[in-house]
Amino acid sequence: MLTAQGIHKYYGDLHVLKGVDVTIKSGEIVSIVGASGAGKSTLLHILGTLDQPDEGMVKVDENELTRMKGDRLAEFRNSKIGFIFQFHNLLPEFTAEENIMIPGMISGKSPEELKPKVQKLADLLGISGRLDHKPAELSGGEQQRVAVARALINDPQIIFADEPSGNLDSASAQSLHELFFKLRDEFGQSFVIVTHNQELAQMADRMLTMQDGIMV
């Protein structure tokens, strides 16, 4: 479903990605591991269209993302791709429910249309009793679950997660990891997860290792 070929990225003189090829199948959970500085986050940002490669191409189905620009790219990203980061980037002034709805509202749906999906996700994620709370009133694990629901509200085909459990205690991390598999089984999305958590990395269908800008 996602194909990346010959990805190169430079930051000034630093050659961070040196010709990376990746293929992700529909419904597949792939982990990316490797030493700090190997280029994992840089690759994830390029696969997720948050950054452009200097060479190479990224395709989702027949859409070549590396050629898309402006509104078309923004619309594609908002509707087909979900992101989960270590620091959840929830908006502090909005409730959990409002935060979850934001990508749906950007794509033109009303809160009324979104409510049933929010409820379904909240039930699945175990946060249905917390939807009226603002992020500061939620635990780290709950905030991360809100971020997961927000990533899923538009039914994206693929979710990119960068150290999703990096700042969670081990019990919350484990339940988040189990959740990724439950979501994949329920909705059939692909997940690409950059992690230093060995347990999560090994639960994946496939584990990719990066070393010094190359997939080994």
Ligand X SMILES: Nc1ncnc2c1ncn2[C@@H]1O[C@H](COP(=O)(O)OP(=O)(O)OP(=O)(O)O)[C@@H](O)[C@H]1O
Which residues are near ligand X by CB under 6 A?
11, 14, 16, 34, 36-42
Contact, 78 vs 106, CB < 8 A?
A: yes
Question: For helices 96-106 and 140-152, what crossing angle results, to 10°?
Answer: 20
Distance of closest approach, residue 198 Cβ to ligand X, in angstroms: 13
Tokens matching residue 187 = 């909705």
Which strands make up the sheet holding 206-211, listed edge to edge? 81-85, 158-162, 190-194, 29-34, 206-211, 214-215
Contact, 153 vs 78, CB < 8 A?
A: no
Distance of closest approach, residue 126 Cβ to ligand X, in angstroms: 28
Contact, 207 vs 201, CB < 8 A?
A: yes
Distance of closest approach, residue 143 Cβ to ligand X, in angstroms: 20
CA distance 39 to 16: 6
Distance of closest approach, residue 9 Cβ to ligand X, in angstroms: 8
- Bridge partners, residue 190, by sequence: 158
Q: Residue 40 or residue 150: which is nearer to ligand X going by CB?
A: 40
Q: Residue 40 or residue 77: which is nearer to ligand X going by CB?
A: 40
Distance of closest approach, residue 36 Cβ to ligand X, in angstroms: 3
